[in-house]
Amino acid sequence: MKTVVITGATSGIGLETVRLLTEEGFHVLGIGRSAMNCKRAKEHISSHNPNARIVFFQADLMQQRDVLRVAEDIMAYLDEKSGGQLHALINNAGCVRSWYMTTEEGYEQQFALNHLAGFLLTHKLLPALQKARGRVIMTGSASHKGIKIRWDDVMLRRRYNPLTAYKQSKLCNILFAKGLNDRFAHSGIRAYVVDPGLVKTDIGNKETGSLVNLIWSLRKRAGVPPEIPAKTYAFLCRQEPAPEGLYYRHCKEKKYSGQVTRENADRLFALSERLCGLCDDTARQERTKAV
């Protein structure tokens, strides 16, 4: 049985994708922010499909210490239950913040959760993905088009705007997917971005200010139910051989921003490695080898 890890698994697109994947026979490891939400989600999935193989892990992925802890727990679980193999990792957790707020490391929260958390988790689960020649799927958005990365102020400390921060984080998702393909496609790993379209979820209603809350409440009325985008995630997990595109909507490859270049992907990769302390890890390993 193939194993899939999915973040943001307790509501919205994540929960619906979990339901679909378990119905298709995947063993799903979901990550949710609160223990209570994980419990509720598990009950929800089990009520639809009593035979569903689903395990939840609790972690606040906005904090890097939690990403590292849950990655370790998942690696141990995979070693024990699936021969250390991970078929797919779905980096779906995301947020919108009306105000500039920071994580414990002082990183802007949308950038930290929407991009860095997935970046770090993917790196920590890479050995299991390589073993299974697995797939990494990011939840993107068409809003990544028409924006550039502000390299001189990537966390928008000088002029924070919630929408700009969100759009930029979604451009980061697709640049990360490209960076992964450039580096690991030769070892069998494929990375994708799913554009879910406008979906009826609560992303703009969680911990946002009154204005963003109101705008999102009105806007999401025109959205599709989460079952629609969930099909694209299931398609990308199921398809053999692994599809070769990068950006998908409604199970079909779509065009993405001209900003998605190798140069930008490499630049973001290097920056993200530094912000996640992966350069420290590499330096430490090199020092240990030298000793």
Site string for other proteins, 268-287 (x = CB under 8 A): ------xx-x----------
Counting contacts by CB under 8 A, is residue 146 touching other proteins?
Answer: no
Counting contacts by CB under 8 A, is residue 158 touching other proteins?
Answer: yes
Residue type, 247: Y
**Which positions ≥6 away from 31 have C-beta within 8 Å?**
5, 6, 7, 8, 9, 56, 57, 58, 59, 61, 70, 93
DSSP 8-state code for residue 154: T
- Please identify every residue annotated as catalytic: 166
The least distance separating other proteins from the CB of residue 216, rounded to whole angstroms, comes to: 15
The least distance separating other proteins from the CB of residue 207, rounded to whole angstroms, comes to: 5
Which stretch in 69-77, 97-105, 163-171, 248-256 sits in contact with other proteins by CB under 8 A?
97-105
Which of 103, 110, 141, 169 is close enough to bind other proteins by CB under 8 A?
103
**Size of the chain, expressed as the number of residues it contains:** 291
Which of 11, 64, 91, 264 is close enough to bind other proteins by CB under 8 A?
64
Which of 72, 79, 202, 207 is close enough to bind other proteins by CB under 8 A?
207
**Which positions ≥6 away from 259 have C-beta within 8 Å?**
144, 147, 148, 149, 171, 175
In the three-class reduction of DSSP (H, G, I as helix; E, B as strand; rest coil), residue 283 is classed as helix
When the beta carbons of 24 and 151 are compared against other proteins, the nearer one is 151
The least distance separating other proteins from the CB of residue 276, rounded to whole angstroms, comes to: 8
The least distance separating other proteins from the CB of residue 148, rounded to whole angstroms, comes to: 20
The least distance separating other proteins from the CB of residue 208, rounded to whole angstroms, comes to: 8
DSSP 206-263: SS--HHHHHHHHHHGGGSBPTHHHHHHHHHHHH-SSPP--SEEETTEE----TT--HH
Binding residues among 209-238 for other proteins as defined by CB under 8 A = 209-210
Closest CA to 120 of 101, 102, 107: 107
**Which positions ≥6 away from 184 have C-beta within 8 Å?**
126, 130, 191
User: In degrees rounded to 5, what are phi and psi of residue 193?
Assistant: -125, 135
What's the token pair of residue 260?
């998605």
Which of 77, 127, 160, 243 is close enough to bind other proteins by CB under 8 A?
160
Counting contacts by CB under 8 A, is residue 104 touching other proteins?
Answer: yes
Counting contacts by CB under 8 A, is residue 102 touching other proteins?
Answer: yes
Give the footprint of other proteins on this chain (CB under 8 A).
64-65, 98-107, 156-158, 160, 207, 209-210, 274-275, 277
